[in-house]
Structure 1
Amino acid sequence: MSGSNYTLGLIAAPGYPKELIDSLKAELPELLDYYVDDNRDWKIDCSIDSLTGGTDQSDEVMKAILSKRKENEWDFTVALTDLPLLFGKKAIIAEAYEEENIALISLPGLGAVSLSRRVRDSILQLVNEMFYTTSEEGREKAEKRLEQKDKTENKDLKTRNPKRLVGKKGFDKISPIQRETPEDTENIDVRFKVNSYAGSALRLLTGMVRANKPWVMFSSFKKVIMLAFTTGAYALVFPTLWMLSHEYSIWRMFLLSNISILAMVFWIISAHQLWEKKQVTQTAPHLRKLYNATTFLTLLTSVLLYYMLLFILFSFAVVLFIPMGLLQSEVSPDVGYVNYFYIAWTATSIATIIGALGSALEDEEVVLSSTYGYRQRQRYDEIREMMEEEE
């Protein structure tokens, strides 16, 4: 470390990790000054590098981080990847190598909620670990320094445990992150991971779905929504749909909804070939299952948003198209305004099936980019091209 500043290099995989770094870099110097060291100013330098997201092996990623740190002459380096990192099928959240002042954060392991705050806290903790060392003496020194800080200056960081990656609220109580200092692993001085298989799966699935940004994929549903709504709106003028919604029981309505939503999910998977197959990819079996589960849950979230929008549209259409007097004369004198709800519900389910089978999504690239397997193949291609250019 030299000069009047400490330089923290932040490396992000393309896409969502980059967005997170962009949102945090302005506030990090002041927070590092408080939580780590205030003898020098902190400077943040950012870089986008596919190597940090090009492999699921953390030791390979750490080598790439070390190379980047030496190339840029940073004092400390923290990399963010949207890849799930595993140690014996348990989720790795973060790792640090204090001798070289490099660290790695796996975003899926942090879960889906309050992600910006969790990433911020993780960066601060990892730099703290590297600055004061990962030993017990280093942790005690970091804790004593915090105790001497003004309580009113930063209450959030003042109460943090210097051995904990993030706070222990909500999600972290269900799936706690454990800190360990492995002795049998080279180039790793401290590791934060989840020790339960169920907790690891919960964190990774929710985090990976969040990283896939299902609301972005929703924009590709415009053509399907148009087809489904126009078809369903046409059907609304016929009494058959009114009578069906009146005769259907609640369990049948829920069954129809589930069938229509799942039909659309599996149609999109099939039409766009989103499923990772054993014969096609070289991905490890447990990662392939994780990728496929994430793809399914991402699409399920998008389709649920689509279903809710259709229901809202049909609710307005039912009130506009069907006079109450006509509904009572055609169906039963006992029907009331609640029947509008059931008609809209039935029309939404039927239109969803029609929309799924009658059209493909508009922007296939958006759909493909929201799946981990496709993004990984893109990154491997980028790395291969870069290596060929260097040769």
Structure 2
Amino acid sequence: MSDSSNQPSADSSKCLHVGLIPAPELPEKVARECIDELRNLLHWHVDSSAEWQVDLVTDPLVGAGGATSEVIDKAASIRQREHWDYVVCITDLPLFRDGCIAVAEASDQRGVAVISQPTLGISPLRSRMREAILHLVSEMHWGAGSEDRDQQQQRMKERESVRREHGLRNNDSRSLLGSRLAETLVPLKRVTCTHGSEGVDVRFLFTSAWRGYARLLGGMVRANRPWSMMPAFRHIFAVAFGTGAYGLIFTTLWILSNEYSLARFIVLMLAAIGSMVGWLIIDHGLWEPQQYTHGKVTTRLYNATTVLSLSVGVCIYFVILYCLFLAAVVVFVPAGFMAETLSEPVGWSNFMLLAWLATSVATFAGALGAGLESEEAVRNATYGYRQRQRHSRVEKLQEQQEQQEQE
């Protein structure tokens, strides 16, 4: 197929506008990655008789509202203001419906849809986001009824080759996402709301509670970007490496590294990582109290996300510190002197075990004795903290609007 055939027709009979309203940070980043190709994809896979325009407006309420109805109401008002035909909100909040985790939902009547970005998993976010947006716009454009979906299924079959060319795996008019391993392990079910519950006509829910929570947690940790905490660990790196490097000049660590079993090394490493995670949570007050969230389940999710995010960050820190100690051992510890001390030949395994032991011991010292330069970077690892920040921002914006109206 030539390049020209992949472009929307210039003589399209109508122009339709789709507005994307992502929450700040990761949802906005993923939405911006998709926006350039959505116009072409909407033309080919939703309605080829229309010329599509896609706009993006970032709104903090999408990442701070506690109920979908509040987000939908806000999105509907933005839709009227911007004169859009359809709106897709992308939030980084978990959505719960009747004890199930909701991935996305749409209102045909209001032309508004909501996607919970963490439920899309860790990767590939961009591909899943494209498929989800296309499907939700299709639901709103053609309708969620059984006959409407059957007609759309026929259109999808006619363009099956084009869908493959565009990298779309979703070939079912009733499926939100295409077939992947993650979707096989954590399948979705489509539920139509006949009475328009909370203004929603169609929902997509995880069929398995525990596997759904695991995927949701993975997506929330991904949104926290735990690797971004590394700059805040500069002081810990300095204290930990200084402490461990000083300990390397004593033969006690050499002897212990040669005598410890593999199980002891693993236990010591896990204890060191756990102590640092616990210290960060206690020292910076990162444990989320229930009074700031919308229920026990949300509180537990936020706290679990905080623990996992910090654990990933500390594990990255541990690996970097281990590489530094391995280099230090090779440079500063004479192989002959070490063999004489241990009364046996030494090799790379001895150096690696010594660096492992030094890293674990130094991590204990770093956790207990170092302060962090950037507390904000660590606090951003907590979901609830970011949501309270956004909620405060929304309240300030509302107060400013009220003052302007009064003036």
Same fold (TM over 0.5): yes
Identical counterparts, % of pairs:
39
**Corresponding residue number in structure 1 for 2:325:** 314
* 1:335-356: CA deviation from partner (whole Å, max 9, x where unpaired): 3331111100000000111111
TM-score of the pair, normalised by structure 2:
0.92
Match of 1:348 in 2: 359
Q: CA RMSD in A?
A: 1.6
Structure 1 equivalent of residue 245 of structure 2: 233
Q: Measured at CA, do residues 150 and 110 of structure 1 come closer, stay the same or move farther in structure 2, by a change above 3 Å?
A: closer
Report the AA paired with residue 200 of structure 1.
G
1:364 is matched with 375
Q: Match for residue 150 of structure 2?
A: 140
Paired residue for 1:305? Answer: 316
Alignment of 1:204-215 (within 5 A): 204-215=216-227
> Residue 193 in 1 paired to residue 205 in 2?
yes
CA drift of 1:102 comes to 0.8
Gaps of 5+ in 1: none
Q: In the TM superposition, what is the alpha-carbon distance from 1:121 to its structure 2 partner? A: 0.6
Checking the alignment, whether the CA contact within 8 Å between 1:146 and 1:158 is kept in structure 2 is no
What does 1:1-391 align with in structure 2 at a 5 Å threshold? 4-149=14-159, 151=161, 154-155=164-165, 156-157=167-168, 160-184=171-195, 185-278=197-290, 281-391=292-402
Q: CA deviation at 1:158?
A: 7.4
| 1:368 shift after superposition | 1.2
Structure 1 distance, partners of 2:345, 2:206, is 57
Could you tell me how far 1:135 is from its partner in structure 2?
0.6
1:134-187 Cα offsets, whole Å, 9 max, x none, are 011111111111222262564443761111111121111111111110224141
Q: Secondary structure at the match of 2:53?
A: strand
Partner SS, residue 27 of structure 1: helix
Q: Which amino acid aligns with 2:333?
A: I
The alignment covers a number of residue pairs equal to 389
Q: What is the distance in 1 between the residues matched to 2:316 and 2:357?
A: 17
Report SS of the residue matched to 2:387. helix
Could you tell me which amino acid in structure 1 is paired with residue 129 of structure 2? Answer: V
- C-alpha deviation, 1:3, in angstroms: 8.1
Answer whether contact 2:13 2:51 (CA < 8 A) is retained. Answer: no
One-letter code aligned to 1:221: F
